[in-house]
Structure 1
Amino acid sequence: MARTTLWHPFTQHAVEPDPIPIVRGEGAWLETRDRRRILDAISSWWVVTHGHRYAPIVAAIHEQIDRLDQVIFAGFTHDPAEKVASKLIGRAPCGLAHVFFSDSGSTAVEVALKMALGYWRNIGEPRTRIAALDHGYHGDTVGTMSAGSRGVFNAAYEPLLFDVVRIPFPYAGREQETLDALEAAAREAPLAAFIAEPLITGAGGMLIYGAGTLAEMKRICEGHGALFIADEVMTGWGRTGTLFACEQARVAPDILCLAKGLTGGSLPLAATLATPRIFEAHYSEDRSRTFFHSSSYTANPVCCAAALANLTIWETEPVLERIATLERLQEESLAALADDPRFMNPRRLGTIAAVDVKVPDGGYLAAAGPALRAHFLDRGVLLRPLGNTIYVMPPYCTTAADLHLVYDAIRSAPDALA
């Protein structure tokens, strides 16, 4: 029997405990209604970068909402959107020149897929095949589910999904299989686009691959005229050690998807950046070539003000130095688990660390997942394992003492499964 009128995301209400009321956030910490503190070791689903309620972002939100809260973005514009777009182009990989705003990571990728298909149709060469890296997760709208790996996340919606060419994940030592598969797919029939999360998957299990492989995948796409879509919804804003993961491979995508940390994690905003040729394919006196996508809150001024404050923080504060410190702390903490036989495959990229707990059954629906979540909350830590994969992706303000608390909880986690 239902215990709440609220329907929470990725929550099986029949077996999950009641949601925990949170009344305050500050830095890396959350506070419950009963004054209990919980360390946010996953940045509240990977969105919070500088910390909860980071003062410059909060101030920008207050200032903007006193001037303009919302305006339709079809036929109108405003300074926060204009300035954010300009700064994004200035920081993004070379060649990206146009910014389309939306509301979430899913919509940023949905927009990218539609841009790609619209591009080919409008230039008179209607390519429709999309290729995607296996174990990818790109969102929960129909197009993004289609591009993501098939499984428990989207099995019920299979009738809605379109076919996508699956490219095997480039596991260490098997990278050439991936490159050969992408090359073969492109030779078989023209690809409209290839989409990948650069360097590390998110919900697919925090699987890591090398910058050289990313660069080779981009080179293959270029050789066959396929558009390269970089889904940096999770990997952007410093998570992998650089502002964008693509920088590490010196790759400039044709389309770049951003969200999550775009506003520092304060408000929902997404952006899809495209090259001039993609924009120009939609630029015409023929109105049927318009890019037909929108949402009511496209480029909301308050959200854009938060994003502008975030971009200013990246320009004026030592964010990369904070990230480097967190990388070192993560590496040291993770190393302590390397010789523990209860864990396997410790790995790190930038500020993201992950390790797998040895359990009889793995995968997203492994019984270990809910048990581990409960254990961590009992220890005052918010971690949300992907089945038996524990990952730590904290805000950049996280201290050594904070991480000590996190990894103490991780070390004791296997005992909670006994």
Structure 2
Amino acid sequence: MNLQERDKKHLWHPLKQHQLHPDSLAIVKAKGCILTDENGNEYIDAIASWYTCMYGHCNDYIIGKTHQQMLQLDQVMFSDFTHEPAVKLSEELIKILPENQNKIYFNDNGSTAVEAAIKMALQYYFNLDEKRSTFIAFENGFHGDTFGAMSVSGLSVYNGPFEDFLIKVERIPTPDGSNHDAILNQLKNLTENHNVAGFIYEPLIQGAAGMKTHHAKGLNEILKFLKAQNILTIADEVMTGFGKTGKYFASDYIDTKPDIICLSKALTAGLLPMAITSCTQKIYDAFLSNDISKGFFHCHTYSANPVACATAIAGIELLTSAEIQDNIKSIINSHRDFEKRIKNHPKVKTTRHLGVIFALDLNTKMERYGNLRDKLLYFFMERGVFLRPLGNTIYIQVPYVISESELQKVYHVIEDALEIV
């Protein structure tokens, strides 16, 4: 019995209706940009396995650094101890994070990074003897699957059964260049009528919403207004962080910096699970007290796992290298050329790109997980490219190490797919 058949006996996959789609493709090997299944078929991983393996699968440099750490220190609880990989990672992160970030808090994944950020914001005001219970978030945002993260997300396909149990959130549109004044007026009304603790946002691009982009100037005006109201701002850079937008972080495009930043995915290059919630010194200081209950009593068993920290350090070393930065520039140029030749196609409604992220909307209506979306997914896979459409949005987020020939194959497969929609 092959892996695909064995899988069906006990496994329950995420984001999948098993009644309709019982099979899951069995991958046995990965290297660089290539995934290999149990039948020897190869696929270009054009979304870096959910935006994680940005330096390619099984990167030799990262594996080497990870292996060295495994021989030295594997795991130790982080509540009572510290260690070199965690200290070193904090130092390296602070060098590349926006200049106002000063403290690093460890989590397990993107959802828990957001969960910690929400709890930090709520307890920040609690510690200051202010009761604030409302959050502001963008329409159609996505921030994760734990309860706090679900609360601030705006995609009901994920949240539907749980909406009666979520914290209070008010939603605003993303800035598009023409609605800044309307958004600021809405924010004025919200802040006058609600005790707002924080604003959480995906800076410049909303991933799960279909790689929808918004304006940096408008976002900056929103952040400026909220900071003037003493409302904490939380940048969810789980998807956008570590070079994907062309800068180290999407927040680098915006003058007003967030108070809190959520990081995961490419943080550990797809090799190990880990996440980080960073914050300003001001937020950290609000938790300092002779009253033990004012500490941040939130913890994960594998917080600051030494092996994961070593992996993240290696990833940052690659990210900041001249080679990877040159590769990012090359991918950006290739995306720009592809957009020129595809944007006027009659089957294409809109195109957009930011850094190594490219997206196009098909000129047709599609359900997020409907038949046409499935047809496209299978079409791509049959031609050796792993792309995962979001409704009528086809997006690319390739590893930084992709070759030009591999990237051109991704483009050509997308162009071929336009003939079947």
Instruction: Say if 1:27 and 1:52, in contact at 8 Å, map to a contact too.
Output: yes
Instruction: Say if 2:224 and 2:256, in contact at 8 Å, map to a contact too.
Output: no
Shift of 1:209: 1.1
The 2-side partners of 1:61 and 1:38 are apart by: 26
The 2-side partners of 1:399 and 1:273 are apart by: 34
In structure 1, what is the equivalent of residue 35 of structure 2? Answer: 30
1:198 aligns with 2:203: yes
What's the TM-score, normalizing by structure 2? 0.95
The 1-side partners of 2:99 and 2:45 are apart by: 34
The 2-side partners of 1:370 and 1:315 are apart by: 37
Could you list the per-position Cα deviations for residues 105-155 of structure 1 after superposition, in whole angstroms to 9, with x for gaps in the alignment? Answer: 101010000000010000111211110011110000000000000411110
1:110 aligns with 2:120: no
Shift of 1:363: 4.4
The 1-side partners of 2:185 and 2:315 are apart by: 40
In structure 2, what is the equivalent of residue 125 of structure 1? Answer: 130
In structure 1, what is the equivalent of residue 4 of structure 2? Answer: none
Within a 5 Å distance, the mapping from 1:5-404 to structure 2 comes to 5-16=10-21, 18-359=23-364, 361-404=365-408
Could you list the per-position Cα deviations for residues 292-346 of structure 1 after superposition, in whole angstroms to 9, with x for gaps in the alignment? Answer: 1111111111111100111222344432221111111111112221111111111
The 1-side partners of 2:70 and 2:180 are apart by: 49
Q: Aligned partner of 2:386: which letter?
A: L
Shift of 1:277: 1.5
Pick closer, same or farther for the CA change 1:351–1:267 going to 2, 3 Å.
same
Instruction: Say if 1:230 and 1:256, in contact at 8 Å, map to a contact too.
Output: yes
The 1-side partners of 2:189 and 2:95 are apart by: 35
3-state secondary structure, aligned to 1:203: coil
The 1-side partners of 2:159 and 2:27 are apart by: 30
The 2-side partners of 1:183 and 1:195 are apart by: 17
What's the TM-score, normalizing by structure 1? 0.96
Instruction: Say if 1:117 and 1:128, in contact at 8 Å, map to a contact too.
Output: yes
Runs of at least 5 residues in structure 1 that lack an aligned partner in the other structure? none
The 2-side partners of 1:324 and 1:84 are apart by: 26
3-state secondary structure, aligned to 2:205: coil
The 2-side partners of 1:261 and 1:126 are apart by: 35
Instruction: Say if 1:135 and 1:169, in contact at 8 Å, map to a contact too.
Output: no
The 1-side partners of 2:188 and 2:416 are apart by: 45
- Alpha carbon RMSD of aligned pairs, Å? 1.6
In structure 2, what is the equivalent of residue 405 of structure 1? Answer: 409
3-state secondary structure, aligned to 2:359: strand
Instruction: Say if 2:260 and 2:279, in contact at 8 Å, map to a contact too.
Output: yes
3-state secondary structure, aligned to 1:4: helix
Pick closer, same or farther for the CA change 1:150–1:19 going to 2, 3 Å.
closer
Instruction: Say if 2:243 and 2:319, in contact at 8 Å, map to a contact too.
Output: no
Shift of 1:172: 4.5
3-state secondary structure, aligned to 1:272: strand
Shift of 1:82: 0.8
The 1-side partners of 2:367 and 2:182 are apart by: 23
Runs of 4+ in 1 over 6 A off after TM superposition: none
Q: Aligned partner of 1:410: which letter?
A: I
Could you list the per-position Cα deviations for residues 210-233 of structure 1 after superposition, in whole angstroms to 9, with x for gaps in the alignment? Answer: 211121111011111100100000
Q: Aligned partner of 1:409: which letter?
A: V
Q: Aligned partner of 2:18: which letter?
A: H
Q: Aligned partner of 1:58: which letter?
A: I
Instruction: Say if 1:21 and 1:32, in contact at 8 Å, map to a contact too.
Output: yes
Pick closer, same or farther for the CA change 1:282–1:363 going to 2, 3 Å.
farther
Q: Aligned partner of 1:408: which letter?
A: H
Aligned length: 416
Runs of at least 5 residues in structure 2 that lack an aligned partner in the other structure? 1-6
Instruction: Say if 1:108 and 1:270, in contact at 8 Å, map to a contact too.
Output: yes
3-state secondary structure, aligned to 2:352: strand
Shift of 1:17: 5.1
Shift of 1:171: 3.1
Q: Aligned partner of 2:401: which letter?
A: C
In structure 1, what is the equivalent of residue 3 of structure 2? Answer: none
